[in-house]
Amino acid sequence: MALRDQIRIMVVDDMSTSRGLITQALDAFGVRNVASTADGPSALKALESTPVHLVISDYNMPGMDGLQLLHRLRSGAQTKGVGFILITGKADKAIIDQGRKFGMNNFLKKPFEPKDLQACIEAVVGRL
């Protein structure tokens, strides 16, 4: 069975358009087990009952940004090993350095093409 048939991914982004674009790209790659939430707290709550292999999160979200979500994931016993990709419109050094310090697996700068998303995911989990 291919990895794309087994992997569970959660997309976290406050913009429904962005969630839709990422989810659509994942579907085009053959990844069908995808959940999505609009914010960090909802993602943490959903992950308690339905664990995933990989979280793809926007950086700039109200209430809890992507780095805060990453930090919470890495602090949790059940979620500390979850793969994490940060998507950001401003990939400045401070954000990326902080993400790496917190244990981010990879990042992707907006705007991006689906092939860039696929390469970013495959660098973390292996070939889809």
Instruction: Look at residue 1 in the predicted model and tell me its pLDDT.
Output: 82
Instruction: Look at residue 90 in the predicted model and tell me its pLDDT.
Output: 84
Per-residue pLDDT of the chain (128 residues; tens, 9 = 90+): 899 999 999 999 999 999 999 999 999 999 999 999 999 999 999 999 999 999 999 999 999 999 999 999 999 999 999 999 999 998 799 999 999 999 999 999 999 999 999 999 999 999 99
3-123 fold: Rossmann fold (3.40.50)
Domain ranges of the chain: 3-123
Structure tokens at 125: 């989990």
Distance from C-alpha of 42 to C-alpha of 54, rounded to nearest angstrom: 16
Q: Which residues of 34-68 are buried (b: 16+ CB within 10 A; e: fewer)?
A: bbbbbbbeebbebbeeeebbbbbbbbebeebbbbb
Confirm whether pTM is higher than 0.85.
Answer: yes
